[in-house]
Structure 1
Amino acid sequence: MLHLRLITPSDRTDDVVRLIEHTVGTTHLAVLPGAARDPAGDLVLCDVAREAGDELLSGLRRLGIEDTGSIAVEAVDLSLSKRADRAEKDAPGEAADAVLWEHLTDATHEESTLSVTYLAFITLATMIAACGVVLDNAILIVGAMAVGPEFGPLAGISTAVVQRAPRLALRSLIALIAGFAAAMAVTVGFSWFMDALGLFSEARLEADRPNTAFVYAPDWFSFIVAVLAGVAGTLSLTAAKSGALVGVAISVTTVPAAANAAVALSYGDTRQTWGSTEQLLLNLLGIILAGVLTLLAQKALWSARRRRTRTAP
């Protein structure tokens, strides 16, 4: 269930209440006239089944509530109510299959912002991965994958394409390109520093690395894994399954490829630099393509289900 807290202008409250009452899957409606002070208006509370949430939010936006009042949504972890059970039963589809487009757009907007924190995480992840490729240490590679925040901008680009949101697409693209560029530049300097300390060496980079050589050897398996990971990552976002997203993060070779490219560049190894760059671009393309196709499929399936529900006797 989702809990909605609305501040509505007094002259729109009746419209809002009517919309909630006519939306299948809503319950626990409460209206507190004149309770809101900033902005001034009425306070309207209700619960709605997740699978009916997107329809209700779209209707509230059409009424202009986000401009004249406020719409706040939070997940209800536990609701002991027969009415809530009935609302979830009446709502079409399954909660796990529902996509809250407003929430997805808002979440990807936040995750795809080029902030100091984002730059810090992607840079640290790339530096950890640099240690992993030089030491041929798979554990460090997995750790770097888990730390990397790059799936946020990738999801932002996919969402922007499906939702036709050019500003989100531009923001996500800037975060993705600038983030990797900054992280690789810092990692080149980090590689020189580690070489000066005698911890990195060209001999180690050029030696046989059975555990990490894959980061500069792109092939069809790289693209296929990226596509599968993109599908899984998108589903984890739309279904709010953060645990699955961690698994996605450690299954694609993005940060390790960027790290290997940076270290190879610091030693002038163009072969590994180019191979790692190809690996990076192939993974990014696969994830974005999979994300777009997954969201389009979810949108089409959910729209078809809504049409069937509305036309059912």
Structure 2
Amino acid sequence: MAERLPPLNALRAFEAAGRHLSFASAAQELRVTQGAVAQHVRGMEARLGLRLFERHARGLRLTEDGRRYHDQIARAFRLMESATRDLRPSGRSVTISVTPSFASKWLIPNMPDFTAHHPGIDLRVLATEALSQFRADGVDIAVRYGVPKAVAALETRTLFAGEAIAVCAPDLSGEGLDGRALLHHSLDMWPEFLETVMGQARPEHLPGPRFSQITLAIEAAMAGQGVALASRFLVARDMRLGRLVQAVPGMLDTAQKYVALCPREDLADPARRTVFDWLCAAAERESRDVT
């Protein structure tokens, strides 16, 4: 049978290239070179004696033979994934890729609610700033911060708007920003906040401590080290607990949003659908509470 089938790596390259209609995107997902993907596909075409793709300047298009073959190969990979998933002791685990700040400030505090309502599903949290690939990294659902884009193969839901407020420790409240250290993080929102919300000229450079993650800037603000900018929902819990207060009135409304993403075909799996729907419902409740 092995002699009658193309190599598994070639089939994986063909399936990914057919899904993305791009050798480059397939290579990024599989973590190989674009040339390796193209070579795998050419080898398959030579082996099968037919063309699977039409090459164009703007990308790839499956031939009629290629489309029929891809539908069946993609179905076979999904079947293998499902069979492998069913072999696991729990059979119902879902991996969520999120940023560290989203994980520590929102997802982890809300996980007891999920576990109480869905004890049969194990959540696995992958906290990373790097972009994750669903297939290559074993990720089921991703939450990322950015401008939402419509992608045909992905279900995309906005969880939280990019509404940033300035926060500080309670003993620093009432004194505004004058004389207070501005705490910076990777999103660098202070220049826009000062210009849009405070009505000041956009500064070319702002002094103050700089942190690689939003969470670290929030922790520094709670420790009384200055004023941090963060999305309202990320600091809502700390504000309810009295650990933070809003330093100055006003809010920066950006085009950036926290978005949940999942391959549409994967939402046919009940566990993934349950987690995805829970994320959306919990975010909606949180948004109402902080409004």
TM-score normalized by the length of structure 2: 0.24
Higher relative contact order (CA 8 A, sep 6+): 2
Judging by fraction of residues, say which structure has more helix.
Answer: 1
- TM normalised by structure 1 equals 0.23
